[in-house]
């Protein structure tokens, strides 16, 4: 069902969002200077001041594809893209992929307009899935794979088109075109209700019902449709079609509940009759809502064409956005204007929600008693995701939505329970963005020694990101450039810039330097020395190794506050030095003295700590021994700065927190997590998690006796097995003669079987037939087995 939901729900997004995206990429490139081309790549030597983002915008149509230039050029990071480096730009591959995607989308649209969504749903679903895969490969920079998948999508769409054209005259009277939750049907000869899968064919005299938190859409041959809301039941009394005259006729009996009708079919002549006991209707409207319960019936018309309601010799005609109430056994009340459409507040139309649940909000409608909210995959709500009736507040959180585009609308309910005019459909997009924003500091150089203040800090960041320095916002130019004038303190300094994108992803870059006023010596320690803080170094054991730069040919010594000289050396002509310092305690304060060739001496204190403790890995929740979910989440805490590996794969860590997913395979999975701190101490955690996605296996099922003559006791036994453990109860259905009985079997550990005994009434007789049994295990896998 999920795949079909995605097919129907993305129809609007494919026709609007994806087409605009691909056309923008194809049309965005401006005339470019000549570059050398080889093997489908443009070759370009990076000039001073050129930005990878600008090159990606000019040649690939999207500045965010700068990572593809790095990948194609074999560069590990943006730091390797220095002036003079030859870059390989995959412009030809990107253009070819975009053209293939646009062609596939056009073929999908043509097939959909020809009716493939009804008559060739499997084929058009395959085309959409292949197109989605092609888009994913394109976003991953796998251009050849994107072209191949787009070509396959185009062929699948063409096949769907051919099937749809052949089936346009097929005898499909009505279709269950959408369902959410539990939807059941019962045909005239059926004794019991049965589940109706998506795309089930519905026949005359068939009953359809929805259970709680469920909806069902019935689409007629001319594409008119009814949307049954929760706890509703209707009978399709009559469906007729005249292909020669293109005339359509339908009659529906609403037994209880409510539905919304949209009679927007393509036939020239069509009639729709609504049957409700004691109420007569004359329907000219193509858009209306009706409800029936024990208290009576309610009607709302949303069309300029009229809807006439009559009862007890009296009638009322409803115009656009008017409604009426017909109490049981009484005449209809006068038409009243329904509530106006609520004003949408958030999210704004076509907004993108990153890595979070959607929070929907709208303005209060004065006098309303509640709200009716609908969320769908398409802007005409043929594929519903959720429908909420009677919401008391003008807001709703929708957790757990998958990545994609969604449409929503809301109506206010008046004191009679009539739904008012619905708001225009607004779209929002759920997007997963875990890529940290681009951020680079170009000045000052790392670990340099500066003698003039203030210090100018310059760099480039993602243009739509928010920059901060010491908690204060930092302005970013339209091209992503930024500049900061920083007043340093004497000695070691660190400038740390943070960039946060709209999805909440964060990148941090830092520059360390030493500031010494003119005429004094200075020491700039190497940036890769393990440290806890400025001038506080850490090591896995004695001795401590110090390295850095100072003035050339200077004498360098280290001593404790009251002790003798621990170590000494001289800097080389370039000012570089390396010093090995024995440590006496787990943590102590030391003094480094620099004596320049002209006799100037400066002292600088620092601290040294010995750390022999391995970092601890603490999970928020321990992994289960057995699960039926393929992706296992691992998140928790670890020592900040530690290097994390899961089964040898690096895991990002941010301020001591980590979050990762491990893909499981069927059976036992061994998981090992290693954390290594800055001085080489390593902590290890290991787990074994079994993945079980198979339902229990049915071994045998029997009922004794095989025939019942005058009621009595009936013993049912079912044998099954499952490696995760069987649940203690299993629902079973048995038929005796023309009667059906449902009961629960109880599991016996010693016999590894389910058993129960039914006591049947004395007037029951006939052969005994086991119909079905529902087996479930303890990790959520289940299957209903038919035994007849």
B/e letters for 630-643, b = 16+ CB within 10 Å, e = fewer, are eebebebbbbeebb
User: What local confidence, expressed as pLDDT, does residue 264 receive?
Assistant: 65
160 located within any domain: yes
Of 51-55, 498-502, 619-623, 738-742, minimum mean pLDDT range: 51-55
57 located within any domain: no
- Do residues 271 and 328 both lie within one domain? yes
pLDDT range class, residue 115, cuts 50, 70, 90: confident
pLDDT range class, residue 517, cuts 50, 70, 90: low
182 located within any domain: yes
- Do residues 578 and 652 both lie within one domain? no
Find the mean pLDDT for residues 699-723.
91
Is the pLDDT reported for residue 9 higher than 50? no
Last residue of a domain, one of 580, 610, 640: 610
Find the mean pLDDT for residues 320-328.
94
State what percent of residues in the chain have pLDDT above 70.
91
Task: Give, as one character, the DSSP assignment of residue 248.
Answer: E
411 located within any domain: yes
> What is the domain range of residue 751?
697-786
Q: Tell me the DSSP string of 462-529.
A: -TTSEEEETTEEE---TTSEEEEEE-PPSEEEEEEEEEE-TT--EEEEEEEEEE--TTS---EE-TTS
Last residue of a domain, one of 610, 645, 666: 610
Is the pLDDT reported for residue 361 higher than 60? yes
pLDDT range class, residue 270, cuts 50, 70, 90: low
Find the mean pLDDT for residues 600-621.
88
- Do residues 447 and 387 both lie within one domain? no
Find the mean pLDDT for residues 332-341.
94
Look-up: residue for tokens 């899961």?
Answer: 646
The whole-chain average pLDDT of the chain stands at 84
Pair 181, 196: CB distance under 8 Å = no
Find the mean pLDDT for residues 247-264.
82
357 located within any domain: yes
**Angle separating helix axes 121-139 and 91-113, nearest 10 degrees:** 160
Find the mean pLDDT for residues 330-338.
93
pLDDT range class, residue 658, cuts 50, 70, 90: very high
Q: Tell me the DSSP string of 1-61.
A: -HHHHHHHHTHHHIIIIIHHHHHHHHH-PPP----EEETTEEEEEPPTT--HHHHHHHHHS
pLDDT tens for residues 522-579? 788 888 889 888 889 999 888 999 998 888 888 999 998 777 888 999 999 888 999 9
User: What local confidence, expressed as pLDDT, does residue 520 receive?
Assistant: 55
User: What local confidence, expressed as pLDDT, does residue 374 receive?
Assistant: 94
Would you tell me how many other CB atoms lie within 10 Å of the CB of residue 424? 10
- Do residues 280 and 244 both lie within one domain? yes
- Do residues 360 and 454 both lie within one domain? no
Is the pLDDT reported for residue 338 higher than 70? yes
User: What local confidence, expressed as pLDDT, does residue 13 receive?
Assistant: 38
66 located within any domain: no
Is the pLDDT reported for residue 375 higher than 60? yes
Is the pLDDT reported for residue 701 higher than 70? yes
Of 133-142, 282-291, 323-332, 361-370, minimum mean pLDDT range: 133-142
pLDDT range class, residue 724, cuts 50, 70, 90: confident
Of 34-48, 549-563, 667-681, minimum mean pLDDT range: 34-48
61 located within any domain: no
60 located within any domain: no
3-state DSSP assignment of residue 136: helix
Task: Give, as one character, the DSSP assignment of residue 79.
Answer: G
- Do residues 204 and 327 both lie within one domain? yes
- Do residues 353 and 425 both lie within one domain? yes
CATH number at residue 674: 2.60.40.10
Residue 54 falls in which region: left (phi positive, over 0), alpha (psi -120 to 50) or beta: alpha
Is the pLDDT reported for residue 7 higher than 50? no
- Do residues 764 and 684 both lie within one domain? no
- Do residues 237 and 293 both lie within one domain? yes
Domain count, the chain: 7
Is the pLDDT reported for residue 418 higher than 60? yes
Distance (Å, whole) CA 636 – CA 659? 7
Pair 639, 532: CB distance under 8 Å = no
Instruction: Report pTM.
Output: 0.44
- Do residues 370 and 262 both lie within one domain? no
- Do residues 639 and 589 both lie within one domain? no
Would you tell me how many other CB atoms lie within 10 Å of the CB of residue 385? 20
Last residue of a domain, one of 275, 305, 337: 337
Distance (Å, whole) CA 47 – CA 642? 37
CATH number at residue 770: 2.60.40
């Amino acid at each position: 069902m999920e795949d079909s939901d995605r097919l129907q729900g993305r129809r609007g997004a494919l026709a609007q969002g994806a087409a605009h995206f691909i056309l923008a990429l194809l049309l965005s490139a401006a005339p470019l200077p000549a570059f050398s081309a080889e093997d489908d790549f443009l070759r370009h030597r990076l000039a001073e001041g050129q930005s990878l983002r600008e090159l990606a915008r000019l040649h690939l149509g999207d500045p965010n594809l700068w990572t593809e230039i790095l990948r194609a050029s074999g560069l590990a990071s943006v730091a390797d893209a220095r002036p003079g480096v030859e870059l390989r730009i995959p412009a030809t591959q990107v253009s070819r992929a975009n053209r293939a995607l646009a062609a596939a989308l056009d073929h999908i649209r043509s097939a959909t307009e020809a009716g493939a969504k009804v008559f060739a749903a499997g084929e058009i679903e395959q085309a959409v899935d292949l197109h989605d895969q092609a888009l994913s490969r394109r976003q991953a920079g796998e251009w050849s794979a994107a072209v191949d998948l787009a070509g396959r999508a185009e062929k699948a769409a063409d096949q769907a088109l051919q099937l749809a054209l052949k089936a346009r005259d097929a005898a499909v009277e009505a279709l269950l075109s959408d369902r959410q939750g539990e939807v059941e049907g019962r045909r005239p000869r059926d004794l019991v209700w049965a589940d109706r899968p998506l795309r089930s064919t519905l026949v005359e005299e068939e009953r359809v019902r929805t259970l709680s938190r469920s909806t069902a859409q019935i689409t007629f041959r001319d594409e008119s449709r009814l949307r049954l809301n929760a706890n509703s039941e209707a009978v399709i009394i009559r469906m007729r079609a005249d292909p020669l005259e293109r005339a359509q006729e339908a009659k529906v009996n609403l037994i209880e509940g409510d539905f919304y009708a949209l009679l927007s079919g393509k036939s020239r002549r069509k009639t729709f009759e609504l049957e409700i006991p004691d109420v007569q209707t004359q329907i000219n409207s193509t858009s209306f809502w009706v409800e029936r319960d024990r208290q009576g019936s309610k009607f709302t018309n949303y069309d300029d064409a009229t809807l006439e309601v009559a009862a007890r010799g009296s009638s009322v005609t409803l115009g656009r956005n008017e409604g009426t109430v017909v109490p049981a056994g009484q005449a209809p009340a006068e038409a009243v204007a329904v509530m106006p459409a609520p004003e949408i507040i958030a999210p704004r139309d076509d907004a993108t929600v990153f890595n979070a649940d959607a929070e929907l909000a709208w303005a209060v409608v004065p006098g309303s008693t509640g709200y009716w909210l609908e969320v769908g995959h398409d802007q005409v709500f043929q594929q519903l995701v959720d429908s909420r009736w009677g919401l008391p507040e003008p807001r709703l959180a929708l957790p757990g939505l998958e990545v994609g585009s969604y449409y929503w609308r809301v109506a206010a309910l008046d004191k009679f329970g009539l739904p008012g005019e619905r708001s225009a459909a607004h779209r929002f997009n759920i997007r997963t963005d875990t890529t940290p924003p681009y951020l680079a500091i170009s000045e000052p150089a790392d670990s340099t020694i500066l003698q003039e203040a203030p210090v100018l800090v310059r760099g480039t960041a993602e243009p739509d990101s928010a920059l901060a320095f010491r908690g204060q916002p930092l302005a970013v130019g339209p091209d992503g450039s930024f500049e900061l004038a920083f007043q340093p303190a004497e000695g070691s300094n660190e400038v740390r810039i943070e960039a946060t994108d709209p999805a909440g992803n964060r990148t941090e870059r830092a520059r360390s330097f030493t500031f010494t006023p003119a005429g004094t010596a200075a020491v700039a320690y190497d940036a890769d020395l393990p440290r806890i803080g400025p001038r506080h170094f850490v090591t896995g054991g004695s001795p401590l190794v110090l390295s850095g730069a100072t003035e050339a040919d200077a004498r360098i010594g280290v001593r404790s506050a009251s002790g003798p000289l621990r170590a000494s050396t001289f800097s080389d002509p370039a000012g570089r030095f390396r010093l090995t310092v024995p440590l006496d305690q787990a943590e102590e304060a030391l003094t480094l003295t620099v004596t320049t060739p002209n006799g100037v001496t400066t002292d600088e204190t620092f601290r040294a700590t010995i750390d022999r403790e391995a970092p601890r890995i603490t999970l928020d929740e321990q992994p289960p021994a057995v699960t039926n979910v393929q992706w296992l989440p691992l998140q928790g805490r670890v020592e900040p700065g530690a290097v994390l590996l899961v089964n040898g794969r690096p895991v990002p860590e941010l301020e001591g927190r980590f979050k990762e997913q491990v893909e499981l395979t069927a059976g036992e999975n061994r998981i090992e997590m290693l954390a290594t701190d800055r001085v080489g101490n390593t902590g290890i955690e290991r787990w074994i998690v079994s993945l079980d996605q198979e339902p229990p296996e049915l071994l045998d099922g029997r009922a004794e006796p095989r025939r019942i003559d005058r009621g009595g006791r009936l013993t049912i036994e079912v044998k099954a097995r499952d490696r995760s453990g069987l649940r203690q109860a299993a629902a079973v259905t048995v038929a005796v003669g023309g009667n059906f009985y449902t009961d629960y079997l109880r599991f016996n550990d010693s016999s590894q079987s389910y058993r129960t005994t039914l006591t049947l009434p004395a007037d029951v007789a006939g052969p005994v037939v086991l119909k079905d049994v529902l087996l479930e295990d303890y990790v959520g896998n289940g299957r209903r087995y038919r035994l007849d």
